[in-house]
Structure 1
């Protein structure tokens, strides 16, 4: 065989090798995680590690400490490392176009979406329907209070986060259909307990010591846990004097529910990575393109659902 023929054969062999789909055990995936601002977020990280281990995927997690600039740095670092794919839980919805154009490898969004301008820059998004979550919360409140006039205060999530925008949108849609429901105060609590407590304290002071507040709607349970503490310190009985409805279904909200201090929560499953990993493996192994949106289930829990039992079961998930 001539040298030219040998070189052509070697080139063809190399091309064939690179064309072979990677198996799950060969995959390395970089995960730019928002941080650990809540119990739910910590559980998502823990479950992601468990799901990756089940599939023998090497999952590299970078904690962004709730800063977009840290996420952008992490993505560029993953690209430089030559990972097979990137998981991104975006801290805010905008500002991703430039870095995602640099990726040139599959990107999967977890838990949160990005602005429509970036739709072509990721493979799929594994999220709940956060508008629907807000609607479920609003419908529970409307049904619970009936025709009674009800002043609601709202603890919003991080400003600019798609999930905060959508949970507000869904709740507001229901409120608009019920003239007896009125959101009298709404402010961000940044998805944290400390900030939720601080903002709730200001709401209580502004609303006649809390006496004119009928219910609190929080975009996540951690802010609600902080709000419950603020209510107790103000001499109020959360869950009785003031109704509570929040989202995520983390263990501590069930502890509060068991104590009669919380009324309802809408579950956001922490297992976003499982469906995302399955999608990436199928894409790499078989060239199967997943749907643009993989939706997870949202479920309402109340005190009728044996909160102590739910608390015990959820503690094992890494919250």
Structure 2
């Protein structure tokens, strides 16, 4: 009986050993996502793996025209801050008031194959060829702050910036109202910006279109002062270096910096800015509003430099394939002495 038990036990062990040997010699496939996971989970894992890398950020090349004024510095800071907040990769080049340098920067942007090119043009003319190069490279262009004078407006997507002509109109309307009870002739001096620039052209045209209603209002002196405080000071000295009866009664400066420099020259000449000479400027900087509150400026037409958020949103809309209006204008105001004090704390530049 014991032999039979040992024999049965031996057969069982032998069978178990053979089973183990067959498993070792056979090929057992390793578990995998495709073979073991349910189809839906498998596809989800595949799609997740393919989207691990974040989407490439938009690259924006921006040709800034310079750093000639407080307005321009605020404009640059607005673009830089908005790019950082929106996750857009910004490459910015300062042209230092040179259109040639702007062309060089733009061609470098084309070589880099940026997604969008933004340009704050130094002057209006001479842009046709370089904009054509941008278009042929397949890169959308946006004009910021100023305008370009081209026959083919399809060379750029949109323009973001103030209605510069309307700014001149506002300045003219203020003057007409201010001098409504004063008999002429009324002599006006004009400090223009950079010669050939959009603000200089359009602000001057808008201003003239209004004062033309009074034949006794005459612009007796006009000269460019490059939008800088130093040049405003120097040119105003030449305006005042005339016989007293020929001195201007009004100064229209195309920006605050030139007006601030001119105010110094008016005081050097022993005159009272804001009283002996009515002073009107454009921009709305904190420093100008301080002089407005002090009575040395009479009116400041607002020109908003904080265009960065609009530019970044425009870049995103373009890359999303959306249609944009050809011109986008921010809301703006005009400040008088009565409103100056309450506005100073609100200014960001």
Q: TM-score range by the shorter chain?
A: 0.7 to 0.9
Three-state SS of the structure 1 residue aligned to 2:218 is strand
Residue 218 of structure 1 deviates from its aligned partner by: 0.6
Residue 211 of structure 1 deviates from its aligned partner by: 6.9
Q: Deviations over 1:101-121 (max 9, x none)?
A: 111311101110000325221
Q: Deviations over 1:8-55 (max 9, x none)?
A: xxxxxxxxxxxxxxx997111011001110100000001111111221
Distance 1:191 1:292 in 2: 27
Three-state SS of the structure 1 residue aligned to 2:252 is strand
2:135 maps to 1:99: no
> Which residue does 1:262 correspond to in 2?
297
Decide which of 196, 212, 232 is 1:176's aligned counterpart. 212
2:116 maps to 1:116: no
Residue 297 of structure 1 deviates from its aligned partner by: 2.1
Decide which of 137, 140, 153 is 2:174's aligned counterpart. 140
Decide which of 95, 99, 117 is 1:86's aligned counterpart. 117
Gaps of 5+ in 1: 1-22
Residue 60 of structure 1 deviates from its aligned partner by: 1.4
Kept in 1, the 8 Å contact 2:125–2:150? The answer is no
Q: What RMSD over aligned residues (CA atoms) do the two structures have, in Å?
A: 1.6
**Following superposition of structure 1 onto structure 2, how do residues 11-26 of structure 1 map, counting pairs within 5 Å?**
26=57
Residue 258 of structure 1 deviates from its aligned partner by: 1.9
2:265 maps to 1:214: no
Decide which of 83, 87, 94 is 1:52's aligned counterpart. 83
Three-state SS of the structure 1 residue aligned to 2:103 is helix
> Which residue does 1:43 correspond to in 2?
74
> Which residue does 1:230 correspond to in 2?
265
Q: Deviations over 1:48-104 (max 9, x none)?
A: 111112211111111110000010100011111111101100000111111111113
2:160 maps to 1:126: yes
Gaps of 5+ in 2: 1-53
Question: Which one has a bigger Cα radius of gyration?
Answer: 2
Distance 1:67 1:191 in 2: 14
> Which residue does 2:107 correspond to in 1?
76
Residue 308 of structure 1 deviates from its aligned partner by: 3.7
Distance 1:57 1:156 in 2: 35
Distance 1:198 1:297 in 2: 33
Would the alpha carbon gap of residues 24 and 230 (structure 1) be closer, same or farther in structure 2, given more than 3 Å must change? farther
Residue 250 of structure 1 deviates from its aligned partner by: 1.1
Residue 180 of structure 1 deviates from its aligned partner by: 3.0
- Count, aligned residues: 291
> Which residue does 1:297 correspond to in 2?
331
> Which residue does 2:16 correspond to in 1?
none
Moved more, 35-44 or 212-221: 212-221
> Which residue does 2:344 correspond to in 1?
311
**Aligned structure 1 segments of 4 or more residues deviating by more than 4 angstroms:** none
* TM-score for both structures, normalised by structure 2: 0.80
Distance 1:178 1:152 in 2: 12
> Which residue does 2:194 correspond to in 1?
158
Distance 1:131 1:213 in 2: 23
Distance 1:288 1:24 in 2: 19
Distance 2:121 2:149 in 1: 11
